[in-house]
Amino acid sequence: MTEIKEKTYLVIVQCHIVQERCSGFHCEKALYDRTGGFAVYPETINFRSLSLTCGGCCGRALHRKLTNLIRQAQKRDGISKEDIVVHLSSCITKDNYHAPTCPHLDYLKTLIGKLGLDLVEDTWISKTAEKRRQEGLYRNNQCMKETPHG
């Protein structure tokens, strides 16, 4: 079994609704800077990555998307699913500016688990958002203008 820090193919799953207004830049930055959910990876590791969305509530399309990825990656480039790790973006796993935690989080995890893929929660972690979570400011989705996400 490949340890998380040795994975060579990263998949970032964004919330389909959030993705309508988010490019995913902060997730990409977190990966580049090896912060947040990506802090475990050595800077020197050579990997590929891809971003996709859950496909919309309830997230069932994610199973089909990942199944396709597993098949294509193996067939085209000999990438085993042991080499793949799925990161659920922080806008799915955490209370944030956009919305509370995804109501289908457990379901998404089940779908990924059924495919035998390793899963990591979180991507970009905003220091300000983390502070506001600790202060309970996002409770009941009290959205505030210009509040950082993730």
Q: Is 52 in the site for ligand SF4 (CB under 6 A)?
A: no
Q: Is 132 in the site for ligand SF4 (CB under 6 A)?
A: no
Q: Could you say which of 11, 73, 86, 102 contacts ligand SF4 (CB under 6 A)?
A: 102
Instruction: By CB under 6 A, tell whether 24 contacts ligand SF4.
Output: yes
Q: Helix, strand or coil for residue 109?
A: helix
26 binds ligand SF4 (CB under 6 A): yes
Q: How many Cα atoms occupy the beta-carbon half-sphere of 52 within 13 Å?
A: 17
CA of 5: how far to CAs of 33, 37, 53, 122, in Å?
Answer: 15, 11, 23, 15
Nearer CB in complex with ligand SF4: 84/92: 92
What pairing do the DSSP bridges indicate for beta strands 84-88 and 118-121? parallel
Q: How far is the CB of 67 from ligand SF4 (least distance, A)?
A: 17
Residues near 140 by beta carbon (within 8 Å), at least 6 away in sequence: none
Q: Is residue 16 at the binding interface for ligand SF4, with CB under 6 A as the rule?
A: yes
Q: How far apart are CA 30 and CA 123, in angstroms?
A: 7
Q: How many residues of this chain bind ligand SF4 (CB under 6 A)?
A: 24
Q: Closest distance between ligand SF4 and the C-beta of residue 25, in Å? A: 6
For the bound state, the minimum distance from the C-beta of residue 78 to ligand SF4, rounded and expressed in Å, comes to 29
Write out the H or E segment, with its range, that includes residue 72: helix 61-77
Scan for tokens 């988010």, then name that residue. 22
- Interaction site with ligand SF4 (CB under 6 A): 14-18, 22, 24, 26-27, 54, 56-59, 89-92, 102, 104, 123-124, 149-150
